[in-house]
Structure 1
């Protein structure tokens, strides 16, 4: 992410805080004044980041937007054979090469595994990313829980692994993931049931959502809705494995491990860019 993107993110982060705190939608002029920017400059910066105007984005951030998504952009994960633990998944315009750790290795709690980690800037604030020699195994947003808590949350999933703060070892994969360009590899470490759920999440297109019950049906366990919800919450690689696209049947957001404000922002960002792309085509 180049320096201008970092600057724009900090502007947008402050704007999103004001939007979330407001009882009613804020005008362009009001938002720009709070950012100490002219309306024209703020509109350009905001639209560059998200692809739509501040006014339009506030519509996507509305709490009822999840129900709209469920009604209009619902994705049915029709068959269990769409879920396999090998091959590749596609998210946005990014190719992800997927590799799963064997159940036996998972049971060892990461013993003998070296995990490199570092803190990086994303469109949604700082993220802690972790990876083995085979690919990224963890990515968590820190804006809601803080850096230390996010690191501890990821690290305790593989308690017997050896950790090194060596971000350059995983930077190419992280850069590819955050720019949605290039080749990002995933080395997923989880129980077999979790791996099935996580790969099912990869089949949900950007700008679309599905439900926990649909995921349960897709992996061949239609009665395991609660277990699916738990596995979704245990997804260690946020954004790339899009657990934020899983909603309750009612249209409620459900939980999000890295904070509901982040989940709302992710859905709004993806929906806005999806609609902007359709309008441009």
Structure 2
């Protein structure tokens, strides 16, 4: 793997995040680069290749309080977003995502009769396990906070009766499109309530956030905050269905199935790119 690979860049950022958390905002470029074991120039290039802003600027986005700043300044209520046509801007890199939901009866059968191809791929946020049917990508999971086997088990448990075929080559074109900012398709496999929540997540513009309460209101269940939170956490297509953009009402990050550090990094990456 060359140092130009997105997964390499994310690994550097993940390490930097831990150092920033421990050292605080006073870290200099030289100090941060030394902690990571790079020259300042190499570190700066790596940051720029991954997010397009300086390490100092990115430190601000990685700050724990940045989620609250996003909520105060870039809070999108989904009903307003839909009314003014923002649903399209919620797409990764302005990516046009089409999606199709599995029929409730088919979902209830645990994916029986469904063939799901899978493989491991490089992604902007580390090694990604991607699963897809003939209709589109149906699952994305990440491995580093948990190992590859656990990530596989996590996704397989969602559709236990499906037939799983390792076929990286077959799904590579749609994965390359998804992570490369080109058109792709999603296949949403979930219960009807879950699918409604996931569709609402797709309406959140990149670089913006919303709350679980807003999502509940947008899908017509304003009192169902907890159920919405559960459905957000069960989102099987991480990153493309942007559950990382959902925050608690007080601006807290809430949970993230693949690790809060990754959620913070995703929010920082999108905020930096939208302002850079």
Q: Same fold (TM over 0.5)?
A: yes
The alpha-carbon deviation at position 3 of structure 1 amounts to 6.6
**Secondary structure at the counterpart of residue 59 of structure 1:** helix
What is residue 101 of structure 1 aligned with on the other side? 102
Matched-pair contact (CA < 8 Å) for 1:210–1:245 = yes
Gaps of 5+ in 2: none
Question: How big is each residue's C-alpha offset from its partner over 1:120-156, in whole Å with a ceiling of 9 and x where there is no partner?
Answer: 1111111111011111100012121221111101000
Q: How do 1:90-129 residues align onto structure 2 when only pairs under 5 Å count?
A: 90-129=91-130
Task: Could you list the structure 1 runs, at least 4 aligned residues long, displaced by more than 4 angstroms after superposition.
Answer: 79-82
Q: Following TM superposition, by how much is the alpha carbon of 1:11 offset from its aligned partner in structure 2, in angstroms? A: 3.5
Deviation at residue 81 of structure 1 after TM alignment: 8.1
For residue 229 of structure 1, report the CA deviation from its aligned partner.
0.6
For residues 229-265 of structure 1, the C-alpha deviation after alignment (integer angstroms, 9 at most, x for no partner) is 1100000000000000000111111011111111011
Structure 1 partner of 2:31 = 30
Task: Report the Cα offset of residue 25 of structure 1.
Answer: 3.9
CA distance in 2, matches of 1:89, 1:40: 33
Task: Report the Cα offset of residue 24 of structure 1.
Answer: 4.3
Aligned match of 1:44: 45
Q: TM-score, normalization: structure 2?
A: 0.92
Q: Which moved more, 1:168-177 or 1:69-78?
A: 168-177
Matched with 1:166 is: 167
Structure 2 CA distance, aligned partners of 1:62 and 1:228? Answer: 26
Structure 2 match to 1:274: 274
Distance verdict in 2 for CA 1:136–1:217, change over 3 Å? same
Count of aligned residue pairs for this structure pair: 271
Aligned to 1:140: 141
Bigger mean CA offset, 104-113 vs 39-48: 39-48
Q: Secondary structure at the match of 1:159?
A: coil
- Mapped to 1, the partners of 2:91 and 2:134 lie a distance apart of 21
Separation in 1 of the partners of 2:107 and 2:89? 21
State the partner residue of 1:252. Answer: 252
Structure 1 residue 30: deviation in Å? 1.0
TM-score (norm 1): 0.90
Question: Contact (CA 8 Å) 2:91, 2:240: kept in 1 or not?
Answer: no
**Paired residue secondary structure (1:19):** helix
Distance 2:137 2:75 in 1: 28
1:99 to 1:133, Cα distance in 2 relative to 1, 3 A: same
Query: What do the CA deviations read for 1:103-128 (whole angstroms, capped 9, x no partner)?
Result: 11101100011111111111111111
The 1:26/1:79 distance shift into structure 2, 3 A limit, reads closer
- CA pair 225-191 structure 1, distance change in 2 beyond 3 A: same
Q: Taking structure 1 as reference, are residues 32 and 91 closer, same or farther at Cα in structure 2, changes over 3 Å only?
A: closer
Shift of 1:185: 1.0
